[in-house]
């Protein structure tokens, strides 16, 4: 009996040590955690000082007021911002505290820009290396914001799937969202809404049919 218990323990340890792969993102039995939207490296292109609202909006105010608001709206309006449907999951675990804390430490002096620098796969892995994933299991999904471009009326985000046991980026794809609506919060939140729907109705099936072991599509 003791020998059998040891064998069972070894099998369990071996199973838990099996590294996650990009294919696991599409498996129904793998836990997926929504980590939030990482705005800590975003560039704001255009004049954000006045935006569909009376009063000025500085970079500091965007960090303190809008980064949290753009993350919380996904939790508050889960039927609209359908992360579960996007990933074909009956259940999603939400854990945005780490990303929310990271966003508070964004540098307001470097956020405003005239140009956008497109993130590379190495950039994405470097950003993920800064995440505190201790104690987290399964696959984590995060949107990493690249730019909010008022002039071109577009936002660019990277969909990123992470093996939270190792911190390895399993998969990432750069996606464009079109903002709309009144008020700074709703205008840019709608760009995220459109990306979620684009993944849900098009990209998910495309990704699943054209899997690569790691890196960028």
Checking if the pLDDT of 18 tops 50, the result is no
Whether 43 is covered by a domain: the verdict is yes
How is residue 162 written in tokens? 């992470």
Whether 2 is covered by a domain: the verdict is no
How far is Cα 113 from Cα 149, in angstroms, rounded to an integer?
10
Total domain count for the chain?
1
**pLDDT at 48 (0 to 100):** 66
Give the range among 13-22, 34-43, 83-92 with minimum mean pLDDT: 13-22
65-86 tens-digit pLDDT: 999 999 999 999 999 999 999 9
Mark out the alpha helices in the chain (DSSP H runs).
2-17, 59-61, 67-76, 83-86, 97-104, 121-129, 184-198, 204-209
Query: What percent of the chain has a predicted confidence (pLDDT) above 90?
Result: 67
Whether 35 is covered by a domain: the verdict is yes
Whether 217 is covered by a domain: the verdict is no
**pLDDT at 10 (0 to 100):** 36
The pTM assigned to this predicted structure is: 0.86
According to DSSP, residue 6 is labeled H
Give the range among 45-49, 54-58, 88-92, 176-180 with minimum mean pLDDT: 54-58
Domain ranges, residue 89: 20-209
User: Which residue in this structure is represented by tokens 């500091």?
Assistant: 60
Whether 7 is covered by a domain: the verdict is no
């Amino acid at each position: 009996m003791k020998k059998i218990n040891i064998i069972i323990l070894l099998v369990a340890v071996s199973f838990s040590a099996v590294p996650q792969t990009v294919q696991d993102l599409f498996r129904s039995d793998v836990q997926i955690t929504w980590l939030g939207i990482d705005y800590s490296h975003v560039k704001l292109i255009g004049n954000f000082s006045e935006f569909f609202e009376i009063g000025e909006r500085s970079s500091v105010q965007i960090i303190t007021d809008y980064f949290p608001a753009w993350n919380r709206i996904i939790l508050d309006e889960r039927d609209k911002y359908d992360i579960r449907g996007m990933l074909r999951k009956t259940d999603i675990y939400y854990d945005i505290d780490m990303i929310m804390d990271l966003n508070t430490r964004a540098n307001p002096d470097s956020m405003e820009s005239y140009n956008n620098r497109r993130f590379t796969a190495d950039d994405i892995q470097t950003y993920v290396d800064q995440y505190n994933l201790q104690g987290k299991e399964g696959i984590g999904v995060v949107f990493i914001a690249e730019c909010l471009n008022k002039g071109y009326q577009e936002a660019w985000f990277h969909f990123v799937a992470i093996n939270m046991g190792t911190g390895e980026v399993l998969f990432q794809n750069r996606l464009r969202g079109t903002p709309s609506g009144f008020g700074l919060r709703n205008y840019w939140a709608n760009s995220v809404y459109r990306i979620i729907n684009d993944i849900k109705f098009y990209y998910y099936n495309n990704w699943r049919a054209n899997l690569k072991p790691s890196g960028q599509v």
